[in-house]
Structure 1
Amino acid sequence: MPHSPTPDRMMNDNRSGLFAQLSSPRLLIFLILILALGLRLYKSSVHGLYLDEKFTLVNTQGVSLEGFNQHDVFFTSGKTYFTPKEFWKEKPLKDYIRAIIQTDIGNSPSHYALLWAWIELFGLSDLSIRMPSIIFSTLIVGVVFLLVRRYLRSESLALLCAFLTAIEPFFIAYSHMARNYCMTIFMTLLGTYLFLRILDRRKLRSPTAGKQPIGLYIGYGLSFAIATLGHYLAITIFMCHGLYLLLFNRDLKTYIGLGLSYIAGAVGLIIPWFVFGGGKYTFQTLAYQAKLYGGLALTNPYNNGFGIILPATIANVVKKSIPVLADLFMFSNGLSSDTLAFRNLVIAFALGCVAVAVVHRFGRGRAVPTWVSVIVPVLLIVGFAVYSVPSARLIVAAAVPLLYYLLYQAFAGYRDRSERQFLFLLVLMTTVPTMFLIAIAFRNGHTYGITQRYSGFSFPYALILVGLTIRQVFRQPTYLRLTLVAVLLIQSYYIGELLYRIYEDQAPKYTYYGHYRIENPYNTAAERIKKLYVPGDTVLYPSARTAPRDEVENTYTRHSIIDAQYTNLYLPKDATYYQRMDTTQTDRIILVKGKSGQRTTIFDFEGTKYRY
């Protein structure tokens, strides 16, 4: 007779089953997605909208800043008052196009269209208008997982890359912004996944599976159009697709199918925007900006109101590119010549290269000489004898060549042709967007465009390379594994510190501000007006003198109405509150009581303190 299982064995079997359930890839990716969503929701509505987000908000409502399409509200001769009802009058499509031209050079219509629909459903609170960015940023984590699992054939690596994407500071910071970046990066990543799926289907030779994947082509064409109309620099990722296709594909039907996808996306959405919409002003504005920034780079590179704009010399471009390229890879995030000094970085990198040479020659097999296990970690710290900045980041900087060497090892470990081709595509998409920015910098003669957010399309692919590197760390001999784990722990501390500063609004590269922003002051002012206003009262808005720089900024008055416009966005659309501009002061929204004339300050902006 068969033996009955003992209670101990039954308990062990139950534990094994429970462990298998808890460690299942589906459960783990679900938990990683929950983590990603939580990190993106945390403090997502604590800080008020910064300048570009305000532009996003007015564009979605068809409002041109300074009233190009509202002169009948603010500037009609003999009319001294205006109301929210007049401000919220119905606006035709041309008003939305004009608003996008004014504040975003005709860029991002697909994002504004999506956000307009979202606001119609969920309102325009700060959390509401940031929620699409939160959702797209979270979805990026899921697509990275799918991409790695399918094309590098490892669920553990896919989970690691998804986790890194979930905690990536860039994605968390930009999920808190009502801007186009998270949506556009997601669409380019989705386009990459669809592109590779199309190639997969075309490689299959069975009678049914080899048919043209029409649905994938349609999805790819839409992702191309929506991404390009989300941010024009998204085209750099699709350029990588095209180059990859030329190098590794010889199937005519694939060329035809993808070509038709591009044409359909361009003819259906992109070209109409450039012919009939705001896109027709884009190249004109870009040419104007190139001239403007080029002039500032030569005459006033530091105190020009746009940030530091340097002439595009080789030295300046290298200096500006180092932090952009470093931040793409989590293990080198924060390595900047501005904080660590270029000389220190060169020394650290040189020591790291020596360590690579030692490891490559003597330190890879099972029998590693004792002196190698000592000299490699010593090389990472010996530079402190000459560094001018005693920062632990320089240990990380010295380890960077070793980490790149391990990435090379990881690449060499893949023998399958399709996997190696996929890795090549990853490298292309990691580097081409930034190289494109560098090329444009030399072309225009200034470094203004070499910035982190414009290279953001590369982050998902760089994170996959980081995942490959970290996995390779744990395959090394004990001495090197322990050394690099210590380095990664040091870098983890700095990543955690950066996340803290992002949440506290103290990371200027990621939040554009070095001081803490309060909750949306315009929404706060609107709530106070709704609470205190009674018929007969008047709301006064500060109105500074304007200084338009071109015809797009030149509207119908020489006094600003921006504070009034932003506040009215949060007032009831049918309200008849009497409001007017006060050109005698520039900082306070004031409520004047009708009978007594008593003045109550609704909000004091204190100059630029609360105008982010």
Structure 2
Amino acid sequence: MLLAFFLRVYRLDAYGIWFDEKSTLLVSQGVVLEGANQKDVFDKATTSYFTPQEFWKPKTINDFIEANIRGDIGNSPSYYGLLWIWLKVFGLSDFSMRFFSVIFGILTLPLLYRFVTRHFKLEADQASRLALITCFLAAVEPYFVAQSHIARNYTMTFFLTLLATHVFLLLLEKEAPNNRKAPYRSFALYGLLVALSLLSHYLAVTVFLGHGLFALIYVRKFGTWYRLALTAVLALGLVSLWFIYGGGAYTFFSLDNQAKLYRSIALTNPVNNGFGLILPATVANVFWRSLPVFSDLVIFTNGLAAAVVGYRNFTLALLLGLVAAGLLMRYRRQRQTPAWVKFAFPAVLAIGLPFYSINPAQHLVLSAAVPFFCLMIAAMREDVSAKNRPLLVFLVILALVPTLFLLVMAFRSGHTYGITQRYSGFSFPYVFILVALMLMKITSLRFWFSLPLALVLGVQAVLLTLLLQRIFNDSEPKYSSSPLARKPNPFWESAQKIKAMYAEGDTVLYPSLRRHEYTEIDKIGRNFSVIDAQLVNVYLPKDATYYQRIDPNEPDKIVLIKGRTGQKITIFDLEGMKYRY
């Protein structure tokens, strides 16, 4: 947990907020992105003045709902509600806002430890060992580290869905044929966790689809199904309140408009469109888009989908991996291993190194990935007793269903935009357990098998360390969701300069770009953007009376005009800074 804490807090607020975090910041304060609920402040902001005091006037629950609708399609109200409380207690800052994600990232570790030791029927030392390895993987997983550096709902949702899965297994255990039925309060707790998870992120539904599939396979008692049905009604009833009376009423409308927009972009301008690469949902496109999602889900294949380049390199690495896996599975259980195998196994893994034309280390890891997967399957079959087999089936279901759901939705919507790791990251905790089983299996092998595999894991550890370094430097687009490295937050810096330099009679001028309104939700009736002014005012004192205006003719500079002399002082020049958009 100390290691996880250090990795998640290190450089937590070193770089500026990206677009989704802008939504988090504004929605949590009841402020609508682009000021739809601040018309009295911004509609005449090009001709008259507004102040931070006016910007920060008290917000109603309807303001929060409208901010959620326009800023995040009505998604994640439970996250925004808890974040609002958190920021009230600990103050509004980038560090505080992101530290809320860190808390859930850290809490996932002891929950994982409890999950493994409670549900795996193993000897105490084996269960503890498996749990510790699982927690170590969770602590160093680059995706988990990166999500803890982002002020979004994902770490909270991962924690809630894992907790709901834990409670679900406890329910089924109490509902087993030889046990007395679980009390209704336990089902009520499970229903509440389901509702909170769904209201943290709608795609948490993929985890509960996995729960339903597992129950369909293993639950045979009518009474259990009856109580689970009542629980589902309870959970959906709580969620439906948000869809009927809150921002969820516009969710399906927004999703439908987004699907039409992204499908149109995929067919007309898939590359240079401002949203990233969006391709039509053909079988080939969906396969190649999903490959890195599946690859990065497993820590020993993390990064290989992007690093393995060229059909010749790939074919050679895969063939060598198949040969190595064949040797391993054929001779690993023999008491007298032929001498030639002891030399052939490491040689087969390494022999391709001189022939790989690019990224030899990653191709070496790809070769070893084949025996790693074979060992994972062997560990599930040989090292886990029959009474744990249903749990293994459950883990595999939860490892696959979230991503498979995204693939189905891609074909349904006609584009590949939604095939991304953050929408299927609920699978990671269960994959960690499966990988931990494989790592324990390696330690039981003879050293001529275990040592080469351990060395390859060491190579992958170095590659992952370099990846973490890029994450900390904000130079890994896949994990930062930004194509270029960011600088420190320019809006916070501008606010500090304004507080230090502003004198009575001065005026602050904010830049503005022409707004693009893609859907009905985007329509505000204002053709100029006010987001830069909003993001600076968030960091200004709530009682300040600084005079401020929007300059429709200036696209980049935040300027302070001194009242006595008319001198123009550039507070910040945002030109070329991609995180404005």
TM-score interval w.r.t. the shorter chain? over 0.9
What is the Cα deviation at residue 363 of structure 1? 4.0
Correspondence for 1:542: 511
Separation in 2 of the partners of 1:315 and 1:502?
30
| 8 Å Cα contact 1:48/1:520 also seen in 2 | yes
The count of aligned residue pairs is 576
Correspondence for 1:274: 243
What is the Cα deviation at residue 342 of structure 1? 5.2
Question: SS of 1:602's equivalent?
Answer: strand
Counterpart of 1:575 in structure 2: which amino acid? A
Correspondence for 2:189: 219
Correspondence for 2:370: 401
Deviates more, 1:429-438 or 1:357-366: 357-366
Question: SS of 1:65's equivalent?
Answer: coil
Counterpart of 2:224 in structure 1: which amino acid? T
Separation in 2 of the partners of 1:339 and 1:282?
39
Separation in 1 of the partners of 2:130 and 2:367?
26
Counterpart of 1:239 in structure 2: which amino acid? L
1:506-525 → structure 2 map (5 Å cutoff): 506-525=475-494
| 8 Å Cα contact 2:17/2:579 also seen in 1 | no
Pairing 1:257–2:227 present: yes
**Structure 2: gaps (5+ residues):** none
| TM-aligned CA distance change 1:293 to 1:118, over 3 Å | same
Separation in 2 of the partners of 1:348 and 1:290?
39
Correspondence for 2:174: 201
Q: Alignment partner for residue 180 of structure 1, among 153, 156, 159?
A: 153
Please tell me the root mean square deviation across aligned C-alpha atoms, in Å: 1.8
Pairing 1:504–2:473 present: yes
| TM-aligned CA distance change 1:343 to 1:298, over 3 Å | farther
Correspondence for 2:541: 572
| 8 Å Cα contact 1:110/1:229 also seen in 2 | yes
What is the Cα deviation at residue 49 of structure 1? 1.1
CA offsets per residue over residues 329-372 of structure 1, 9 Å max, x none?
A: 11110011465345533432232123222322334312111222
What is the Cα deviation at residue 103 of structure 1? 2.1
Correspondence for 2:98: 130
Correspondence for 1:156: 129
Deviates more, 1:241-250 or 1:197-206: 197-206
CA offsets per residue over residues 43-70 of structure 1, 9 Å max, x none?
A: 1111121110010011011111222111
| 8 Å Cα contact 1:326/1:332 also seen in 2 | yes
| 8 Å Cα contact 1:363/1:369 also seen in 2 | no
Correspondence for 1:480: 449
Counterpart of 2:205 in structure 1: which amino acid? I
What is the Cα deviation at residue 162 of structure 1? 0.8
Deviates more, 1:215-224 or 1:318-327: 215-224
Separation in 2 of the partners of 1:79 and 1:599?
18
Separation in 1 of the partners of 2:246 and 2:259?
22
Q: Alignment partner for residue 552 of structure 1, among 521, 525, 533?
A: 521
What is the Cα deviation at residue 213 of structure 1? 3.0
Greater RCO, CA 8 A, separation 6+? 2
1:357-372 → structure 2 map (5 Å cutoff): 357-372=326-341
| 8 Å Cα contact 1:590/1:603 also seen in 2 | yes
Question: SS of 2:559's equivalent?
Answer: strand
Separation in 2 of the partners of 1:442 and 1:514?
26
Correspondence for 1:63: 31
| 8 Å Cα contact 1:366/1:477 also seen in 2 | no
| TM-aligned CA distance change 1:515 to 1:307, over 3 Å | closer
Separation in 1 of the partners of 2:305 and 2:137?
21
Counterpart of 2:220 in structure 1: which amino acid? R
Deviates more, 1:307-316 or 1:214-223: 214-223
Separation in 1 of the partners of 2:231 and 2:354?
58
Correspondence for 2:342: 373
Q: Alignment partner for residue 168 of structure 1, among 127, 141, 145?
A: 141
Correspondence for 1:239: 209
Separation in 1 of the partners of 2:298 and 2:411?
24
Pairing 1:88–2:56 present: yes
Counterpart of 2:70 in structure 1: which amino acid? Q
> Which entry has the higher C-alpha Rg, 1 or 2?
1
CA offsets per residue over residues 434-453 of structure 1, 9 Å max, x none?
A: 11111111222221111111
Question: SS of 1:64's equivalent?
Answer: coil
Question: SS of 1:311's equivalent?
Answer: coil
Pairing 1:116–2:89 present: no
What is the Cα deviation at residue 462 of structure 1? 0.8
1:397-476 → structure 2 map (5 Å cutoff): 397-414=366-383, 416-476=385-445
Correspondence for 1:100: 68
**Structure 1: gaps (5+ residues):** 1-32
| TM-aligned CA distance change 1:89 to 1:390, over 3 Å | closer
| 8 Å Cα contact 1:593/1:599 also seen in 2 | yes
| TM-aligned CA distance change 1:77 to 1:411, over 3 Å | closer
| TM-aligned CA distance change 1:76 to 1:591, over 3 Å | closer
What is the Cα deviation at residue 415 of structure 1? 5.4
CA offsets per residue over residues 483-540 of structure 1, 9 Å max, x none?
A: 1011101111111111111111111111123543222211111111111111111111
Separation in 2 of the partners of 1:488 and 1:116?
42
CA offsets per residue over residues 240-282 of structure 1, 9 Å max, x none?
A: 11111111122233223322222112112x1011112221222
CA offsets per residue over residues 159-194 of structure 1, 9 Å max, x none?
A: 111111111111111001110000001100000111
| TM-aligned CA distance change 1:116 to 1:346, over 3 Å | farther
Pairing 1:391–2:360 present: yes
Separation in 2 of the partners of 1:343 and 1:78?
60
| 8 Å Cα contact 1:537/1:594 also seen in 2 | yes
| 8 Å Cα contact 1:328/1:459 also seen in 2 | yes
Correspondence for 1:286: 255
| TM-aligned CA distance change 1:558 to 1:492, over 3 Å | same
| TM-aligned CA distance change 1:165 to 1:608, over 3 Å | same
What is the Cα deviation at residue 299 of structure 1? 1.7
TM-score, length basis structure 2? 0.95
Question: SS of 1:539's equivalent?
Answer: strand
TM-score, length basis structure 1? 0.91
| 8 Å Cα contact 1:311/1:445 also seen in 2 | yes
Separation in 1 of the partners of 2:66 and 2:315?
48
CA offsets per residue over residues 106-147 of structure 1, 9 Å max, x none?
A: 111111111111111111101111122100001111111111
Counterpart of 1:253 in structure 2: which amino acid? G
Separation in 1 of the partners of 2:12 and 2:246?
32
What is the Cα deviation at residue 204 of structure 1? 7.7
CA offsets per residue over residues 580-600 of structure 1, 9 Å max, x none?
A: 011121111111111111111
| 8 Å Cα contact 1:67/1:556 also seen in 2 | no
Pairing 1:591–2:538 present: no
1:335-354 → structure 2 map (5 Å cutoff): 335-337=304-306, 340-341=309-310, 343-354=312-323
